[in-house]
């Protein structure tokens, strides 16, 4: 199905909708866009022009052009027959979603994939949940409901993979889905530690960016545990069996000091954050982060695997290239990342 999709309809042009539009254009697709918000057309034009240099740097497909989209107005009504795929990105309001998905469902031709919620033809509808911004971050979580047609699920996986995404099938719909829950788990403990006075916000960030961040960018928690347990097939079980008692004690302490979301705790956290910002230009940090992130995901045909042992090559190829279609320059850019971290002119919080 991915090959048959030539024109995508994008409903909603906020940060995520605009980012999707840029990604689709970069892959040579035609895009019809709608949004009822005042100034949406102008904002979309400005956003696409701002991210296009990044997309050019990552690599454009043949025929890719900013000229291949058209803003058609407040709605795609009258244009749904022209699209092969609908990406809906409206605000998270149930009444709005219900009406909008009903419109999309009624106007699109049978068999078309509609990506968001459920209406009278639920078999062709599912949720895709990107990690923001979609034009840069590879992950997209594909979340069908029990009634979604399996062929639609596979078509979605294939399409997003063709767009260079890491398409992950989430088999149960959960609040926050997967990546957000992982982020929340780490974030909650970070907030707890800073609120308790264990360390500052700046030092907490340094703990993450100089340890778990780069490690998990390579392998993720499960493969990291395999290697931590000796690297063999029994590595995972060995590590968890060995660290289990200690990890339980850590978890018990964490559960006893769960961060509570209230104004008083927020003020306490923000004091540490403000102190961190006294000597840091947040916009400079953002620009440097984005540049390093682009380096990390830059697509350079064949370059990442040079010099790697064949068994390592197979692991990274199967998990990072064949799976998501992106060509990751892992070793080179992680190395550059550490070089940058050690430069004295770069903020420590990067």
Any residues with CB less than 8 A from the CB of 186 and at least 6 apart, and which? Answer: 208, 212
Residue ranges of alpha helices (H) inside the chain are: 15-26, 40-58, 94-107, 150-162, 179-195, 201-207, 213-218, 220-228, 235-256, 263-277, 282-297, 310-316, 330-342
Distance CA 216, CA 225 (A): 11
Beta strands in 221-300 (DSSP E): none
Sequence length of the chain is: 350
Instruction: Find residue 140's DSSP bridge partners.
Output: 130, 167
107 catalytic per annotation: no
Distance CA 210, CA 302 (A): 28
**Nearest alpha-carbon partner for 135 in 302, 276, 18, 33:** 18
- One DSSP character per residue, 197-228 reads TSS-HHHHHHHIIIIIHHHHHHSHHHHHHHHH
Tokens of 112: 């078309």
334, 298 contact by CB (below 8 A): no
Order across the sheet with 30-34: list the strands. 69-73, 30-34, 7-11, 85-88, 113-115, 125-130, 139-143, 166-169
334, 218 contact by CB (below 8 A): yes
Distance CA 262, CA 264 (A): 6
In eight-state DSSP terms, residue 171 is S
Distance CA 203, CA 180 (A): 23
**Active-site residue (options: 107, 141, 202, 298):** 141
| Upstream peptide bond of 315 is cis (omega within 30 degrees of 0) | no
Q: Which residues are catalytic?
A: 141
């Amino acid at each position: 199905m991915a090959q048959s999709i030539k024109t995508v309809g994008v409903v909603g042009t906020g940060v995520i909708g605009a980012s999707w539009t840029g990604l689709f254009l970069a892959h040579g697709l035609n895009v019809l866009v709608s949004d009822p918000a005042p100034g949406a057309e102008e904002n979309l034009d400005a956003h696409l022009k701002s991210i296009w240099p990044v997309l050019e740097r990552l690599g454009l497909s043949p025929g890719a052009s900013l000229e291949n989209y058209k803003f058609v107005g407040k709605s795609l009504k009258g244009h749904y027959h022209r699209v092969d795929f609908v990406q809906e990105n409206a605000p998270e309001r149930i009444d709005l979603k219900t009406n909008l998905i009903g419109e999309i469902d009624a106007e699109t031709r049978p068999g078309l994939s509609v990506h968001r919620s459920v209406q009278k033809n639920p078999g062709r509808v599912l949720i895709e949940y990107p990690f923001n911004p979609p034009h840069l971050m590879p992950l997209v979580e594909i979340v069908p409901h029990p009634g979604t047609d399996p062929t639609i699920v596979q078509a979605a996986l294939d399409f997003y993979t063709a767009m260079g995404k890491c398409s992950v099938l989430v088999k149960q719909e959960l609040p926050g889905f997967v990546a957000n829950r992982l982020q929340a788990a780490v974030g909650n403990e970070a907030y707890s530690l800073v609120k308790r006075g264990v360390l500052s916000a700046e030092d907490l960030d340094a703990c993450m960016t100089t340890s778990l961040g780069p490690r998990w960018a390579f392998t993720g928690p499960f493969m990291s545990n395999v290697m931590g347990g000796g690297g063999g097939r029994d590595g995972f079980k060995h590590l968890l069996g060995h660290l289990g008692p200690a990890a339980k004690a850590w978890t018990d302490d964490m559960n006893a000091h769960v961060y509570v979301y209230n104004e008083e705790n927020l003020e306490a956290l923000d004091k540490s954050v403000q102190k961190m910002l006294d000597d840091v230009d947040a916009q400079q940090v953002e620009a440097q982060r984005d540049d390093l992130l682009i380096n990390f995901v830059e697509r350079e045909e064949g370059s990442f695997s040079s010099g790697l042992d064949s068994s390592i090559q197979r692991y990274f190829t199967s998990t990072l290239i064949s799976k998501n279609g992106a060509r990751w320059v892992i070793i080179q850019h992680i190395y550059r990342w550490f070089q940058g971290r050690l430069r004295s002119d770069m903020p420590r919080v990067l």
